Amino acid sequence: MQKRSTFGSKFGAIAAAAGSAIGLGNIWRFPYVTGENGGAAFIIIYLICTIAIGLPLLLTEFSIGRFTNRNVFGAFKVLKPRSKWSLIGVLGIATAFVILSFYSVVAGWTMNFLAESVINNFAGKNSSQIQEGFGGFVASGWRPIIWSIMFIAMTAYIIISGVEKGIERYNKILMPVLLVILLILVVNSAFLSGFKDGINFLFSPDFSKINGKVVLEALGQAFFSLSLGMGTMITYGSYIRSNDNMISTAGSVALTDTIIALLAGVAIFPAVFSFGINPTSGPDLVFITLPNIFLQMPGSYFLSVLFFTLLLIAALTSSVSIMEVLAAYCTEELKMSRRRAGVLIAGVIMVISSMCCISQMPESSIRIAGMNLFDLFDTLSANYMMIFGAFLTTLFAGWFWTKSKLRGEFTSGGKYGVKIFPVYYFIVKFVSPVMISLIFLSQIGLLGF
Ligand code: PHE
């Protein structure tokens, strides 16, 4: 049998998993969800969720992946042959299709905005022109389709290049670039008049704002941001070398992911406050509000080019990790070559994401449950499929997998983190299943908060 690929170094593994975690979720979703949920108090709950539930689940997914050395479907087949647990794999694969289809649409918008920034197309426009520009772009249907097809082709190119020569290599280059760009934007924001207000909004909590819904939103954001509940981290875990310290790898990933989200907040909110824009403006924050704000700032040309480059890098390294869930399945279970798998998956995603773009045109009649396909896929994946996947995964690890095997993998054969294993195991067995079922029940409306 051919030797299975692994990441070549621990830094490579961290860069790849952090590249997956750091995505549109940090730079597009985190700021607007924070804005909608009252700022600092939400952030505190989000941090608690990340440390207490997200990080343990990340370790569980890494353990399952590295123990089985398989893709998400194969992993559960190895752990419990001929049982229904492989359905977690099927769910993960379905979720990957769903997320990738709408994620590449937003990534396509990002590419379009980057191109417009580069040719200085925003210059001289007022805010209603920017808003109309964005509306007209989405309404055209064909323009977002072309950009998202290009984005999917880029993603597939990296996948076809391989685990070490593609995924690891590009992440090792792109993640440091992302950090440098973000730091430039943060420094810029420190000179804005709204810096103090922005920082206060992010870091001085008003605890009266915390309620059940805020807690649930925070947990959902923590899962989405750490790429949990759909097999991405199982797949990447399977490429971590068996003697690497998995705990510090996972810890570094969770820490970088959180720091980047906070820095994105620091880069964005002072600008929002400096120009008197409402921080609760929602998903449009990045695509309509920011170009607007940039226009009013000195150096706007460079700021918008840098910002959309940042967003594109974040989107690309995450979508690579989603496509790898599918590619690993096709190569290992269906015995396809990587090239054939990449081409096939990209083709399917191109068709579905084009349908998402078409369904966003105002005259489109594609509607399911009152939503266009784009909104449906967004809601379906983040609010239902990933949470359900996360619940089944933690349930499996806590109650249906042999404790000694989980401990062996978690501690890399007794080498690291032996003392913290009991705490971790308690969370996996009791805390996580209870907390996740609470959010899930509230999402499907069985529990009112
Ligand atoms: N974590 C990514 C982000 O923050 C999104 C993602 C979800 C990536 C699921 C992989 C799997 O944008």
Ligand 1 centroid to residue 297 C-alpha, Å:
31
Closest residue by CA, ligand 1 atom 7: 227
In the reported structure, the alpha carbon of residue 57 is separated from the centroid of ligand 1 by a whole-number distance in angstroms of: 14
Tell me, using a 6 A CB cutoff, whether residue 26 lines ligand 1: yes
For 404, the token pair is: 């000694």
Could you tell me the end-to-end alpha-carbon distance of the chain, in angstroms, rounded to an integer?
53
CA of 20 to the centre of ligand 1 (A): 6
Model-level pTM? 0.93
Give the distance (Å) from ligand 1 centre to CA of residue 128.
32
Q: How much distance in Å is there from the Cα of 207 to the middle of ligand 1?
A: 28
- Report residue 275 as tokens: 């120009």
Ligand 1: nearest atom to the Cα of 26: 4
| CB-ligand 1 contact for 321 (6 Å cutoff) | yes
60 lines ligand 1 (CB under 6 A): no
Print pLDDT tens along the chain (449 aa).
456 889 999 999 999 999 999 999 999 889 888 888 889 999 999 999 999 999 999 999 999 999 999 999 999 999 999 999 999 999 999 999 999 999 999 999 999 999 999 999 888 888 788 888 888 998 999 999 999 999 999 999 999 999 999 999 999 999 999 999 999 999 988 998 999 999 999 998 888 888 877 887 888 889 999 999 999 999 999 999 999 999 999 999 999 999 999 999 999 888 888 887 777 766 677 888 788 888 888 888 999 999 999 999 999 999 999 999 999 999 999 999 999 999 999 999 999 999 999 998 888 877 887 788 888 888 788 778 998 999 999 999 999 999 999 999 999 999 999 999 999 999 999 999 998 888 778 767 777 65
Ligand 1 contact, 236 CB (< 6 A): no
Q: Note whether 152 and 346 are within 8 A (CB).
A: yes
Establish whether residue 232 lines the binding site of ligand 1, counting it when its CB lies within 6 angstroms of any ligand atom: yes
- Cα 351 to chain centroid distance, Å, stands at 22
Q: Which residue has the tokens 């209603």?
A: 128
Ligand 1 center from residue 234 Cα (angstroms): 13
228, 168, 239, 205: which is closest to 11 by C-alpha?
Answer: 168
Residue 447 has which token pair? Answer: 């529990």
Is there an atom of ligand 1 within 6 Å of 105 CB? no
Q: Which of 29, 227, 286 to mutate for ligand 1's pocket (most ligand atoms within 8 Å of CB)?
A: 227
Contact 155 CB / ligand 1 (< 6 Å): no
Please report, for residues 47, 49, 103, the alpha-carbon distance to residue 168 in angstroms, rounded to integers and kept in the order given: 28, 28, 21
Taking Cα atoms as reference points, which of 49, 52, 40 lies closest to residue 207? 40
For residue 21 and ligand 1, the question of a CB distance below 6 A is answered with yes
